[in-house]
């Protein structure tokens, strides 16, 4: 898939050294169709990726993922860190 655009949706931290962040990417698949990929990175390494047909569905998935990690004890990333 070719990445057209990427934006960070959220970033969380656990302790001082663990970070997780979520990006939503606008991509083109092998059939040249537009899609939106949710990609979650754990300490900079990919740990989850899923493609959606609309930006709204990708945003909902990213928001649901954030709710789950916050419930598991992660905290929103502070810009001061």
Domain residue ranges in the chain: 2-76
Q: How confident is the model at residue 78 (pLDDT cuts 50, 70, 90)?
A: low
**What is the reported pTM?**
0.85
- Exposure letters 21-44 (e unless 16+ CB within 10 A, then b): bbbbbbbeeeeeeebbbbbbbeee
Give 63-68's long-range contacts (Cβ < 8 A, gap of 24+): 63/9, 65/22, 65/38, 65/40, 66/9, 66/10, 66/12, 66/22
pLDDT at 80: 43
pLDDT digits (tens, 9 = 90+) for 17-48: 899 999 999 998 777 788 999 999 999 999 99
pLDDT digits (tens, 9 = 90+) for 58-74: 999 999 999 999 999 99
């Amino acid at each position: 898939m070719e990445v057209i655009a990427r934006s960070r949706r959220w970033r969380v931290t656990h302790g001082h050294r663990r970070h997780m962040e979520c990006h939503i990417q606008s991509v083109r698949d092998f059939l040249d169709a537009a899609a939106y990929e949710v990609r979650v990175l754990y300490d900079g390494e990919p740990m989850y990726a899923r493609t959606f047909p609309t930006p709204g569905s990708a945003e909902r998935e990213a928001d649901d993922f954030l709710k789950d990690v916050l419930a598991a004890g992660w905290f929103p990333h502070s810009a001061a860190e």
